[in-house]
Amino acid sequence: MNFPDTAFSFTLDAVCPVTGARAGTLHTPRGDIQTPVFMPVGTQATVKAMAPFELEEMGARIILANTYHLYLRLGADIVAEGGGLHGFMQWKRPILTDSGGFQVFSLSTLNRISDEGVWCRSHHDGTPHVMNPEWSMSVQKQLGSDIAMCFDQCAPWPCSREEAEGAVRRTALWAARSKEAHAREWQGERRQALFGIVQGSVWEDLRLRSAEDIIPMDFPGYAVGGLSVGEPHGDMYRILDSLKGVLPSGKPRYLMGVGRPDNLVEGVARGIDMFDCVLPTRNGRNGTLFTPYGAVNIKKKNSTNGILPPWIRSATAMPAGPSPGPISATCTAPGRSSPPGCAAGTISGF
């Protein structure tokens, strides 16, 4: 596949003047992605219980794969020999790969962290590995994703302020090394965009410090990491509020690892463009539905004596028709245009 020099760009089509919710288009060599967008997660090069054609039929425009897991079990070299993730999965649309940094957090009992990188043992067989920004950029190139993520350190929750400060400092250090390694790997080819990540746990001043560190590096997109690790939802929303006016408006904003319906709505209202989470497919495989009356497991025996539960009555009574649209009634953006009250769109090249 040939890639033009201006392979990636982001168009901000409309902004809600009340909430800051955004409608945009992320242009990639493998197709446009209308935002806000949710990315189904295919941890090991497959979205569990879903075939690629089913993902296309349901309207998925981009999916996510996991660098750490593909490196340890299967091997990035095998994926590369199979044509990269796109050829290996038979998925023609865009793919984003995470950096492996989240696994540094989630598998903390198996690793040691320093400024140089992470020494860890495989959770599969105990073999030792060294992971760092250079490793991450090399593996993500082999995987051939359209969007790669900088190697970062995700602080746990709860954590001390000192721990969060250390993660902010190291994330900035590793972001600079990631950018340099990414440039070396691709030698000027514009086949993969690299997004930066803002850390800082639940401290607003640390989040702003992290943003001040990362934004001058001029990445084509920015992610907010470390807000899906157990912290109260109120803290998540407070941090997003603090970053809404700080992250560059002309570039996509990605809230990592968030997928609850209420979190998605609240995130969109705070200017987030991209989301990912294993929750929808995990819940679907296990028969759990989100409803206005709470989560319902359809595999459990119903004890209503033939009377439809409220969530079924509600679902069957819902009228057919289009989605009610954005949160603010003053910003409907029909057909993704820019109606009165919405800020005019701008185009930012990567």
CB 201, CB 157: distance < 8 Å: yes
List 146, 213, 273, 276, catalytic entry: 276
Distance between CA 47 and CA 314 in Å, rounded?
30
User: What single-letter amino acid sits at 216?
Assistant: P
10 Å CB burial of residue 321 (0-12, 13-18, 19+) is exposed
Residues 6+ apart with CB under 8 A from 209: 168, 200
Whether 276 is catalytic is yes
Q: For every residue of 26-64, which 3-state class applies, written as one string?
A: EEECCEEEEECEEEEECCCCCCCCCCHHHHHHCCCCCEE
Distance between CA 57 and CA 47 in Å, rounded?
14
List 5, 32, 98, 218, catalytic entry: 98
Q: What are phi and psi of 67, to 5 degrees?
A: -60, -50
Instruction: Please list the active-site residues.
Output: 98, 276
